[in-house]
Structure 1
Amino acid sequence: MATPTPTPNATPLASSSWLRSFMDRCKLEKNGSNFSDWDAQLKLAAEGDDKLRYLTEASPSEPTTRSTAATREAYEAYQKESAAMKNVLIFAMEADLQRRAFKMGNANEIYSKLVTMFSQAPRIVQYEAAAAFFDLDFKEGQKVSPHVLKLMELVESLKIQKVEIPKELIVDRILYSLSKVKAYVQFRVNFNMQDKDVSLEELHKLLVQAERDMGLNVNPPKDVLNISTKSKGKFKKNGRKGKKQAPTFTKAKTCEASTSKIKKGPLDKCHYCNGMGHWKRNCSKYLGDIKAGKITPVGPPPSKDKGKEKQA
């Protein structure tokens, strides 16, 4: 859907650097799920350009014929700036919200409608910030800086709701949340013994430095760990590198081959018929020729049973 045409005769915001930056980076979602962050950024940008009152203050009454020239000029100036802020709001929201906002009169009317639609009750905001502040946990392996900054952010949220937490209690809460990790127990003990009076920013700096000094969250690459573990299991023994042992099946195969050669060696060739796989005394041709009287054997006659047993 095309973006609605800006309001005619509106200020181009050429000099409004804060608001221009806001329009470039922030978009209010149609369901208002990011309204809290969007509203905080909008107020910051409008206050930086001294235009916050065009959001929070209603339009002055229209001058009458009896109004002074100064009153007329103030009214016209307000309408001009309000029209410019209306364009800022329209460009900083999604298309579904733009259609509704474009039909409204000025920036204050649009902003008031958005607050009514999407803002939470102050008591709910206060409760959620307080619950998060007291429940936020710090776990092993986390970075300390984001954890501390999150707690400080929750403290600021409570300040907006006019809930002031003593600084000492905030420091104790931060240290308590960290003491669940053993590495920070000694830091807490030393900090309390020295009875330091530091700001939250200084405490954050001390914790980041302590994390660095203790070498936390400094893990070697996973591939290096895998290689060293694998090498330790297969190639190292008693801290020395040794030769890789030959697989057991290789030795078994060698023994089997040598045994086969020993068995087949005497049966290589018959010296009578030149056949393979038997001895002369067991040769069927040799025994047949003796029985037929063709040859006379030298020495005692061969025994068939003995030859069979030998062959077996």
Structure 2
Amino acid sequence: MATPITSASTSSASLTIVSWLRSFMDRCKLEKNGSNFADWDAQHRLAAQGDDKLRYLTKAAPTEITTRSTPAARQTYEVYQKESAEMKNVLIFAMEAELQRSAIKISTAHEIYMKLVNMFSQAPRVIQYEAASAFFDLNIKEGQKVSPHVLKLMEHVETLKMHKVEIPNELVIDRILHSLSKIKAYVQFRVNFNMQDKKVSLDELHKMLVQAEWDMGLSVSTTKDVLNVNHKSKGIFKKNGKKGKKRTPNRNIAKTSEASSSKPKYSAPSGDKCHYCCGVGHWKRNCSKYLGDIKAGKVILVGPPPSKDKGKEKQV
């Protein structure tokens, strides 16, 4: 009775693993032109290796069983065929439709995987050259976060290590610091770091740079700038729309107009003489005696009232 229980539990665990792999690979499907094969392959191998499934991709099937095969050989062959069939489904599930049609006809997961490697993988020398070029050419850009930049450089170092190209730790640190030299805020960090002459790992340097970014306010200022731009951009598209909210009059404009209307009119220069009362310092149209005589009916005007008349009044 113990054997069936173990078999059922193993089968259930296997289904769980395959289900997890499918959900994992669904987020990274292999494109039909193979442009993302390097990332796809790295993630797929990592997932398969974690679940002890990588051997079904990299190793060929064992020799087919015959009448002379031992029970152990039969069991090994049957397990391989079953696991390989599950991994084949995972591989096909992680491709675009154009690649799936040709992969379905292939019998094992190993054969499918090797076909993809032959079709899309780059030569080791090409991978090494591209990683080295990116490592020595990559520089941080204005407004870019320091963490993704440093992690990208560290990724290129790991790629070179995989191809047996070792770069000394001190050289990697110098290259990372030099890649930040376009941002003036990091120049002082580099000076202080070199003066202290600390021996740190790449992970420790990454942590120090992230902390320095925060202390210098680079991460905060970038966020504020984005928020300010978004705030200023509100309402820009309302002008181009067919309909918009009715504009309310500007209170500042109203206040300005009221202030301007309440301002006193220009008075005559101190040397000018009134042609009505012969007084000095005002004009006839502003003369209090003249306006009072008009109100009293002593002066009869021909034409518009004196407050609006720009010409000379005719006196009768």
**TM-score in same-fold range (> 0.5):** yes
Change in 2 beyond 3 A, CA 1:252/1:260: farther
Change in 2 beyond 3 A, CA 1:26/1:259: farther
> In the aligned structure 2, how far is the partner of 1:33 from the partner of 1:123?
18
Q: Which residue of 2 aligns with 1:74?
A: 76
Which deviations, in whole Å up to 9, do the C-alpha atoms of 1:100-152 show, x marking residues without a partner? 11111110111111111111121111111111110011233322111111111
Change in 2 beyond 3 A, CA 1:197/1:270: closer
Residue type at the aligned position of 1:163: V
Change in 2 beyond 3 A, CA 1:194/1:268: closer
Change in 2 beyond 3 A, CA 1:77/1:309: closer
Q: Which residue of 2 aligns with 1:115?
A: 117
Check whether the contact 1:268–1:276 (CA below 8 A) recurs between aligned residues: no
Q: Which residue of 2 aligns with 1:103?
A: 105
Tell me, yes or no, if structure 1 residue 91 matches structure 2 residue 97.
Answer: no
Check whether the contact 2:131–2:156 (CA below 8 A) recurs between aligned residues: yes
Change in 2 beyond 3 A, CA 1:114/1:225: closer
Q: Which has the larger radius of gyration?
A: 1
Deviation at 1:40, TM superposition (A): 0.6
Deviation at 1:56, TM superposition (A): 0.8
Check whether the contact 1:101–1:110 (CA below 8 A) recurs between aligned residues: yes
> In the aligned structure 1, how far is the partner of 2:283 from the partner of 2:21?
94
CA RMSD, aligned part only? 3.5
Pairing of 1:256-275 with structure 2 (within 5 A): none
Where do 5+ consecutive residues of structure 2 fail to align?
A: 1-10, 233-254, 268-281, 304-311
Pairing of 1:110-149 with structure 2 (within 5 A): 110-149=112-151
Aligned pairs, how many?
253
Pairing of 1:49-64 with structure 2 (within 5 A): 49-64=51-66
Check whether the contact 1:267–1:278 (CA below 8 A) recurs between aligned residues: no
Change in 2 beyond 3 A, CA 1:147/1:209: same
Q: Which residue of 1 aligns with 2:208?
A: 206
> In the aligned structure 2, how far is the partner of 1:119 from the partner of 1:153?
18
TM-score, length basis structure 1: 0.70
Tell me, yes or no, if structure 1 residue 28 matches structure 2 residue 30.
Answer: yes
Which deviations, in whole Å up to 9, do the C-alpha atoms of 1:4-39 show, x marking residues without a partner? xxxxxxx78423165244234221122222111111
Check whether the contact 1:270–1:278 (CA below 8 A) recurs between aligned residues: no
> In the aligned structure 2, how far is the partner of 1:114 from the partner of 1:203?
38
Matched residue of 1:218: which SS? Answer: helix
Tell me, yes or no, if structure 1 residue 222 matches structure 2 residue 228.
Answer: yes
Where do 5+ consecutive residues of structure 1 fail to align?
A: 1-10, 227-243, 280-307
Check whether the contact 1:268–1:277 (CA below 8 A) recurs between aligned residues: no
Residue type at the aligned position of 1:96: E
> In the aligned structure 1, how far is the partner of 2:115 from the partner of 2:230?
58
Pairing of 1:215-294 with structure 2 (within 5 A): 215-219=217-221, 220=224, 221-222=227-228, 250=261, 254=265, 277-278=301-302
Q: Which residue of 1 aligns with 2:241?
A: none
Check whether the contact 1:144–1:207 (CA below 8 A) recurs between aligned residues: yes
Which deviations, in whole Å up to 9, do the C-alpha atoms of 1:155-207 show, x marking residues without a partner? 11222222221111111111111233221122212212222111111111111
Check whether the contact 1:269–1:277 (CA below 8 A) recurs between aligned residues: no
> In the aligned structure 2, how far is the partner of 1:270 from the partner of 1:181?
83
> In the aligned structure 1, how far is the partner of 2:162 from the partner of 2:40?
16
Residue type at the aligned position of 1:15: T
Check whether the contact 1:85–1:107 (CA below 8 A) recurs between aligned residues: yes
Deviates more, 1:73-82 or 1:24-33: 24-33
Deviation at 1:67, TM superposition (A): 2.2
